[in-house]
A and B are shown apart, each in its own frame.
Chain A
Amino acid sequence: MPTYKLYYFNAKGNAEITRLVFAAAGVEYEDIRFKDRDDWLNNYKHLSPTGQCPFLEVDGKKIGQSLAIARLVAREQGLYGESNMDGAMIDQVLYTLDDLTKPLIDWHFEKDEAKKAEKEKKLAEETLPESMQRLDKLLKGNGGKGYFAGNKLSIADLAVFNQCSGLVVKFPKCMDKCKELPAFIDRIKALPKIADWLAKRPQTDF
């Protein structure tokens, strides 16, 4: 088993997908969390291969970019499907989720209150429901197996769970038109290794 060290703030943020993969795979790792921004800037930033975080150390070799990290662990630990076609189905999901990042960040950092309300409305009424329906369709498209790709749990399932369980707090109606997705999220949440991690992980705002 390689030695893994994950470096990030004390938050779910862009590291949580990798932590979920570790949890699902039952793999031990060092979950290093910076005390604050200064701790990151003074003690860790220079260690990161891209000057950003999260980053991962695997037997001494460092990798940056949250999804490069998550994918590496997923591939190493059997959470990337069983064929290149499974991999493509997984990637399809990961990139669909990635498309949401920009509009969400855009809304989150909007300083003008009127514009922010407008962006929130668009997210709530159009962007998020559309994306959720797209995911719902992809889930159904895998022959009712209950996973997004192939016959078993993969990083795609964990990524959808991670993103959607956060979204539904601020945007409770975004999955209203989805037939499969809400039940899917409950199923993932209840998987023993995932439930275990959710119970013991540090409780943080974001």
Chain B
Amino acid sequence: MPSYKVYYFNARGRAEITRLALAAAGVEYEDIRFKDRDDWLNNYKQLSPTGQSPFMEVDGKKIGQSLAMARYVAREHGLYGNSTMDGAMIDQVLYTLEDMTKSLIDWHFEQDEAKKAEKEKKLTDETLPGFMQRLNKLLKSNDGGKGYFAGDKLSIADLAVFDQCSGMVVKFPKCMANCDELQAFLGRIKALPKIADWLAKRPQTEF
């Protein structure tokens, strides 16, 4: 078993997908969390291959970019489907989530209060329900939506949807109205033993 170290702030943020993948794979790793921004800037930034975080070390070799890390763990530990077509289905989901993340980030960092309220309304009424319906449709296209997003087993796509949506539904509770398959799916992933175990023991952080 290789030795893994994940480096990030004390937050779920961009590292959580990799932590979920490691949890699902049942793989031990060092979960390194910077004390604060200064700790990152003074002690860790120079170690990162892209000068950003999160980054990961695998037997000494460093990988940057949150989804490069998550995909690596997924491929090494059987969480990337059973074929290149499964992989494409997984990628379709991951990129749909990325598009959603970008619109959330846009809203989150908006300084002008009036514009922010406008963006929040658009997210609530249009953008997020649109994305949730797209995901619901992708889920249903695989075995009627009763299982996973790709193939017949858990993959990084399932974990990424769980990670993103379970956070989002707190701030945007109506975004998954009419997405019955997706809601049931989230309940299923949350209850998987290795996932439930991680959810119970992970540090509780605001984001």
Interface residues of A (CB under 8 A from B): 49-51, 58, 61, 63-69, 71-72, 75-76, 84-85, 87-89, 91-92, 94-96, 98, 101-102, 134, 137-138, 141
Contacts and interface: CB of A to CB of B under 8 A. Distances in A.
A88 B95 contact: no
Contacts of A85: 58, 61, 72
Contacts of B58: 85
Given A50-B96, A63-B92, A68-B92, A84 B84 contact: no
Contacts of A98: 98
A95 B76 contact: no
B8 to A, nearest CB: 15
A72 B72 contact: no
B46 interface: no
Given A50-B134, A50-B138, A96 B75 contact: no
A84 B141 contact: no
B76 A84 contact: yes
Contacts, number: 84
Interface string B20-46: 000000000000000000000000000
A60 to B, nearest CB: 11
Nearest to A75: B84
Nearest first, the 4 A-B pairs at minimum CB distance are: A91-B68, A68-B91, A95-B65, A65-B95
A92 B88 contact: no
Nearest to A56: B88
Contacts of B84: 72, 75-76
A130 to B, nearest CB: 9
Given A50-B138, A102-B102, A91 B95 contact: no
A64 B105 CA distance: 23
Nearest to B59: A85
Contact of B89 (A63, A92, A141): A63
Most B-side CB within 10 Å, residue of A49, A61, A65, A101: A65
B47 interface: no
Interface in B56-96: 58, 61, 63-69, 71-72, 75-76, 84-85, 87-89, 91-92, 94-96
Most B-side CB within 10 Å, residue of A50, A58, A141: A50
